[in-house]
Amino acid sequence: MPPPALHSAVLDAVGRAITSGDIVPGTPLTLESIGTQHQVSRTVAREVMRMLEGLGLVRSRRRVGLVVLPMAEWNVLDPRVIRWRLAGPGRDEQLRTLTELRHAVEPLAAAGAARHASAEQRAELVDLADRMRVLGARGDLTEFLALDIRMHELLLRASGNEMFGALAAVVAEVLTGRTHLGLMPAAPVPEALDQHEAVARAVADSDAAAAEAAMSALVGEVRTALDAAGPVGEHR
Amino acid sequence: MPPPALHSAVLDAVGRAITSGDIVPGTPLTLESIGTQHQVSRTVAREVMRMLEGLGLVRSRRRVGLVVLPMAEWNVLDPRVIRWRLAGPGRDEQLRTLTELRHAVEPLAAAGAARHASAEQRAELVDLADRMRVLGARGDLTEFLALDIRMHELLLRASGNEMFGALAAVVAEVLTGRTHLGLMPAAPVPEALDQHEAVARAVADSDAAAAEAAMSALVGEVRTALDAAGPVGEHR
DNA sequence: TCCCGCAATTGGTGTCACCAATGGCTTGCC
DNA sequence: GGCAAGCCATTGGTGACACCAATTGCGGGA
C-alpha cells in the first residue's frame, strides 16, 4: 500500500552493496555516479546519501565525494543494516554476534517484564506461549515466526526500559532472518516451546529471577543450536 | 575543522524540539514550515527530514507532511537521540535506562575482551587504569572522562562482538552526559578506581569470569550511585 | 633535486523553479 | 444522511545554477 518509494529502493541497493563488501571501505563514490548508476536524479541521490550517512556507512567530504567507512563505524544495530548483512556473506558471524547480544539483553529484559508488565501483557504472553505450542506441533513455520517475534517484542517492550524495547526490531530481524535462511528445524524443538512457556509463566507470576533464568536458558539453547548447525564461519 | 554544516544545525534544532517534547507526537510539520522557521531552503529541509525519518522521529506522509512519531518508534539507541534527550527533561530516567543497558552488556563484553583482546589492547587497558588513578587523585574531571570513555570503548571493541562495539558511542554519550550534568563527584570515588583496575587486570590475565564479575560490580556501583544521587524522577 | 606556494579543477552544499502523484477534505448529489 | 467525485495542499522527483572548500598539479625558487 505504500507506493514503491524511489529513494528507498536506491538506498537498499547501495546499502546492500556496501554491507556485502562489494564496495570496499575507503572507496569514494560521487552523487553523480550514484545518480547515473541507478537512473535517478542528483537530489534523490543526495537524500540517499544522507540516510547512508545516518547509518554510518559513508561520510561525505567536500571535493572527494562519499567515502565508504570501515565496518567499525557502521550502525550495526540498525534493523536495515542487520537485514542487509544477513542477506550477504558473513551471515553466520552476524547471527552469532546478534545472538550474543540477545544473551546479554533478553534475560534482564525478561526480569524487568516480570516486574513491570501490565496485566494485559502478562495474559498475552501466556496466550502466545500456548498458541506457539499448538502451531509448533502443526509445523506452520511462518505463523510460528509471527508469534515468536510478537512474544519477544512484548517482553522487551514490557521490560520497563525503552532501550530494551528499541532492540525489539533487532530481535525481529534476527528471528525472521534465521527462519528465512532455513536455519530452523522443520518443527520447533520441544525444549524451545517449554522454555518459552517457562518465561511466560515466570513473568505472569512476577517471578523476576525465574524469568531471567528461563530466558537465559532459551537464548543459550539458540546459541548452542547455532554453533552446532552452522559452524561455517571458522575464524582463526 | 569540519565546516559547521548547515543541515546538521537544523537537524539538531528540530531533533531537540521533538525529543524534548516541545513538539507532541502526532503533530504534523511541513517542509515549508521547517524551511521558513530555520531560514533554510526546501531542499535542505528535505534532507533533514530524511535524517529524522532515519532516526524514527518522524514519518513523512503525502498531503499531510511530517508526523511526529511516538517515543516507542524512536531510535533511542542512536547517539544523537541520546544526546538530545540527555539535554532535555527526563534525563534521570534516561540515565537509568541506559545504565541498565550497560549492566546487561558491559559485563559480557568484558568477558569477551578477556578472551579475544590483543596484547596491545590488554596493555593499553592496564595503562589506562593506572592513569585514571593518577588523574582521579588530581581531580582533573575532563581528562579523567576521556580516559574513562577510552577504556570502556576499548573493552567493548575488543569484546570480539561488533554489536557490543557499536554500543561504545552510547556509553561515551552516557559518560560525558553524566559528567557535564554535574552528576559526578568532584573526585572519583576509590571504589570506582579499584573496579576499573580490577577489570583491566582480569582482562590482561585472560580471566573472563573475573572480568565479567568486576565489570558487573562497576556498573552496579554506578547504578546505586545514580539512585542515591538523583531520585528526582519518581515515577509511580 | 627538492620543496613551497599558487591556481585550476572537482564535487559537495545550498537555492530555486517546476511538474507529477497522492490522499485528505470538501462539496454536492442521490 | 451517506456516499462519491473532484479539488488542492504537500510530498516526491527533476534539472539547472551559484558557491565554496579541498585536492591536485604545476611552476618557480633555493
**Domain limits at A43?**
6-73
Under 8 Å between Cβ of B51 and B58: no
Which triple of cell numbers denotes residue B215?
565489570
Which triple of cell numbers denotes residue A20?
556485502
Task: Give the pLDDT confidence score for residue B232 in this predicted structure.
Answer: 46
Q: Confirm whether B41 is domain-assigned.
A: yes
Of B49, B73, B97, which residue is a domain's last?
A: B73
Residues A219 and A178 in one domain: yes
Task: Give the pLDDT confidence score for residue B3 in this predicted structure.
Answer: 56
Secondary structure E strands in B119-231: none
Intra-chain end-to-end CA distance of chain B, in Å: 47
Residues A14 and A119 in one domain: no
Of B73, B100, B128, which residue is a domain's last?
A: B73
Task: Give the pLDDT confidence score for residue A234 in this predicted structure.
Answer: 41
Residues B88 and B42 in one domain: no
Intra-chain end-to-end CA distance of chain A, in Å: 47
Handedness of CA A231, A142, A103, A194 (dihedral sign): negative
Residues A22 and A84 in one domain: no
A156 Cα to chain B: minimum distance (Å): 12
Query: How distant is C1' of C14 from CA of B21, in Å?
Result: 30
Q: Confirm whether A1 is domain-assigned.
A: no
What is the nearest nucleotide to B41, using C1' and CA? C15
Of B19, B42, B73, which residue is a domain's last?
A: B73
Under 8 Å between Cβ of B175 and B167: no
Q: Which nucleotides of C are covered by protein (CB under 7 A)?
A: 9-17, 21-24
Instruction: Indicate the angle between helix axes A208-229 and A190-204, nearest 10 degrees.
Output: 160
Residues A140 and A36 in one domain: no
In chain B, residues with a C-beta closer than 8 Å to the C-beta of A112 are 100
Residues B128 and B159 in one domain: yes
Task: Give the pLDDT confidence score for residue A98 in this predicted structure.
Answer: 97
Residues B66 and B101 in one domain: no
Under 8 Å between Cβ of A57 and A17: no
- Residue spans of chain A under pLDDT 50: 232-236
Residues B15 and B129 in one domain: no
CATH number reported for the structural domain that contains residue B58 in this entry: 1.10.10.10
Residues A224 and A116 in one domain: yes
Q: Confirm whether B133 is domain-assigned.
A: yes
| Chain A interface mutation, best of B100, B116, B159, B223, highest count of A Cβ atoms under 10 Å | B100
Count structural domains, chain A. 2
- Residue spans of chain B under pLDDT 70: 1-4, 229-236
Residues A199 and A113 in one domain: yes
CATH number reported for the structural domain that contains residue B138 in this entry: 1.20.120.530
Task: Give the pLDDT confidence score for residue B129 in this predicted structure.
Answer: 97
Output b/e per residue, B19-45; b: 16+ Cβ within 10 A: beeebebeeebebeebbeebebeeebb
Residues B122 and B58 in one domain: no
Residues A172 and A84 in one domain: yes
pLDDT tens-digit readout, A15-59:
999 999 999 999 999 999 999 999 999 999 999 999 999 999 999
Under 8 Å between Cβ of A94 and A86: yes
Q: Confirm whether A137 is domain-assigned.
A: yes
Q: Confirm whether B234 is domain-assigned.
A: no
